[in-house]
């Protein structure tokens, strides 16, 4: 039987972040000694090994994601990660996970801590060959990628246009879409990213730093019948991408890395060419998807070292929050930065 302490170190947000470049960023965070959470019947206690920084965490720390801006401070931090189940509530399924290495997600937050209480059904047991680093990003991005390809297949789309194409999610999408016979046109903002994607086998990449990028995208989207796009950038990129796509195309906005709203959508595209702008949120998609969740999660668990692999380039202890966040923000496309609470 595992033993664990009654208190733990947790990285708490004590002041909302205004900008990740603010000189006093460190003053927004404090590592506090707090009680180890009590468990409900269907929960398990995970000793956290590794937890990445995701774009959604940046929005949460600024109070701009869901209800985070309304939640009182100090606030727990961190969304997904991996670790070992050291205790469980009374439910049989929760009990069955004790001692297992899992990837998981904390609701609404709490992974940047030594221990976290999570729902047993939000745990994906890791295979023996999956390291804690491989398993730390096993939920949000992989399931989103599975969803994107499911949407493409359901709509009989031959090709997906994907912005922020060099993101961790973008690299997974290239592999998973190919496995399912769907092509991807990756839209990136720097030549280095275009080169990096080509190095890992991307066939179609458009770099928005080129003056001619919209023409290049239009030519490719027409040739490859790309009628479906997923956009994580927003701003004028969303409208420009939709304009470059054929009639009857649909763009799903699923992030706002530019920090801007959707702009530049041409009324001609909407009115005469029957194009559409929609939204995608994984939580809502999974809620509506119905049967097959177990198979979906199982297929992700088996491919965390291949199709759904996320590389972690560096990890930090909880006490170096500002350094970790600035490192991530300054080089987001270069694999993930993570916290390891026991390092």
Ligand X SMILES: NC(=O)c1ccc[n+]([C@@H]2O[C@H](COP(=O)([O-])OP(=O)(O)OC[C@H]3O[C@@H](n4cnc5c(N)ncnc54)[C@H](OP(=O)(O)O)[C@@H]3O)[C@@H](O)[C@H]2O)c1
For residues 129 and 108, the answer to whether their CB atoms sit within 8 Å is no
Task: Kindly state whether residue 258 participates in binding ligand X, applying the rule CB under 6 A.
Answer: yes
Q: Exactly one of 84, 104, 130, 167 binds ligand X (CB under 6 A); which one?
A: 167
- Interface of this chain with ligand X, residues 224 to 253, rule: CB under 6 A: 232-233
Minimum CB distance to ligand X smaller for 27 or for 278: 278
Task: Kindly state whether residue 186 participates in binding ligand X, applying the rule CB under 6 A.
Answer: no
Task: Kindly state whether residue 130 participates in binding ligand X, applying the rule CB under 6 A.
Answer: no
Kindly report the backbone phi and psi dihedral angles of residue 302, in degrees, each rounded to the nearest multiple of 5, phi listed first: -75, -15
- Interface of this chain with ligand X, residues 261 to 290, rule: CB under 6 A: 280-282
Is cis: bond before 66, omega within 30 of 0? Answer: no
Interacting residues of 132 by C-beta distance below 8 A, sequence separation 6+: 49, 50, 82, 83, 101, 126
Task: Kindly state whether residue 127 participates in binding ligand X, applying the rule CB under 6 A.
Answer: no
Task: Kindly state whether residue 144 participates in binding ligand X, applying the rule CB under 6 A.
Answer: yes
For residues 262 and 280, the answer to whether their CB atoms sit within 8 Å is no
Task: Kindly state whether residue 168 participates in binding ligand X, applying the rule CB under 6 A.
Answer: yes
Task: Calculate helix-pair angle for 213-223, 236-243, nearest 10 degrees.
Answer: 50
Task: Kindly state whether residue 140 participates in binding ligand X, applying the rule CB under 6 A.
Answer: yes
Task: Kindly state whether residue 316 participates in binding ligand X, applying the rule CB under 6 A.
Answer: no
At its nearest, how many Å lie between ligand X and the CB of residue 338? 11
From 41-49, 52-60, 122-130, 265-273, span contacting ligand X (CB under 6 A): 52-60
At its nearest, how many Å lie between ligand X and the CB of residue 112? 16
Task: Kindly state whether residue 254 participates in binding ligand X, applying the rule CB under 6 A.
Answer: yes
Q: Exactly one of 136, 240, 257, 304 binds ligand X (CB under 6 A); which one?
A: 257
Task: Calculate helix-pair angle for 282-289, 293-302, nearest 10 degrees.
Answer: 130
Minimum CB distance to ligand X smaller for 159 or for 167: 167
Is cis: bond before 196, omega within 30 of 0? Answer: no
Task: Kindly state whether residue 20 participates in binding ligand X, applying the rule CB under 6 A.
Answer: no
The full DSSP string for 135-179 is HTTSSHHHHHHHHHHHHHHHTT-SEEEEESTTSHHHHHHHHHHHH
Task: Kindly state whether residue 255 participates in binding ligand X, applying the rule CB under 6 A.
Answer: yes
Total binding residues for ligand X by CB under 6 A? 24
Tokens of 249: 């195309």
From 83-91, 100-108, 120-128, 139-147, span contacting ligand X (CB under 6 A): 139-147
Tokens of 190: 């720097």
Q: Exactly one of 333, 338, 340, 341 binds ligand X (CB under 6 A); which one?
A: 333
For residues 339 and 315, the answer to whether their CB atoms sit within 8 Å is yes
Task: Kindly state whether residue 161 participates in binding ligand X, applying the rule CB under 6 A.
Answer: no
At its nearest, how many Å lie between ligand X and the CB of residue 173? 9
Residue matched to tokens 């490192």: 327
Task: Kindly state whether residue 304 participates in binding ligand X, applying the rule CB under 6 A.
Answer: no
Interacting residues of 7 by C-beta distance below 8 A, sequence separation 6+: 33, 34, 35, 36
Residues near ligand X (CB under 6 A) are 54-56, 140-141, 144, 164, 166-169, 189-190, 232-233, 254-255, 257-258, 280-282, 332-333
């Amino acid at each position: 039987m595992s033993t664990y302490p009654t208190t733990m170190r947790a990285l708490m947000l004590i002041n909302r972040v205004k900008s990740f470049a603010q000189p006093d960023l460190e003053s927004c965070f404090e590592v506090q000694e707090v009680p180890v959470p009590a468990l409900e019947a269907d929960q398990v206690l995970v000793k956290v090994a590794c937890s990445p920084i995701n774009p959604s965490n940046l929005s949460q720390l600024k109070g701009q994601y869901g209800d985070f801006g309304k939640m009182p401070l100090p606030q727990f931090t961190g969304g997904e990660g991996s670790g070992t189940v050291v205790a469980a509530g009374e439910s049989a399924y929760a009990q069955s996970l004790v001692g297992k290495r899992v990837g998981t997600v904390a609701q609404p937050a709490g992974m940047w801590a030594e221990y976290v209480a999570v729902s047993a059904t939000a745990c994906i047991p890791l295979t023996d060959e999956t390291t804690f680093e491989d398993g730390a990003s096993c939920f949000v991005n992989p399931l989103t990628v599975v969803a994107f390809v499911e949407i493409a297949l359901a709509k009989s789309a031959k090709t997906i246009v994907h912005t922020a194409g060099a993101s961790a999610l973008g690299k997974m999408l290239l592999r998973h879409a190919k496995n399912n016979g769907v092509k991807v046109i990756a839209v990136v903002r720097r030549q280095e990213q275009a080169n990096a994607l080509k190095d890992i086998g991307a066939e179609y990449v458009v770099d928005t730093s080129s003056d001619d990028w919209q023409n290049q995208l239009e030519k490719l989207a027409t040739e490859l019948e790309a009628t479906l796009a997923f956009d994580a950038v927003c701003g004028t990129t969303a409208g420009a991408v939709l304009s470059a796509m054929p009639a009857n195309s649909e763009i799903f906005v699923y992030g706002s890395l530019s920090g801007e709203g959707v702009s530049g959508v041409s009324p001609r595209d909407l009115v005469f060419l029957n194009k559409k702008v929609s939204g995608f949120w994984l939580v809502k998609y999974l809620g509506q998807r119905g049967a097959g969740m177990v198979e979906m999660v199982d297929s992700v668990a088996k491919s965390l070292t291949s199709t759904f692999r996320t590389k972690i380039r560096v990890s930090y202890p909880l006490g170096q929050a500002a350094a970790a966040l600035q490192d991530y923000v300054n080089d987001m496309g270069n694999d993930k930065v993570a916290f390891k609470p026991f390092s």
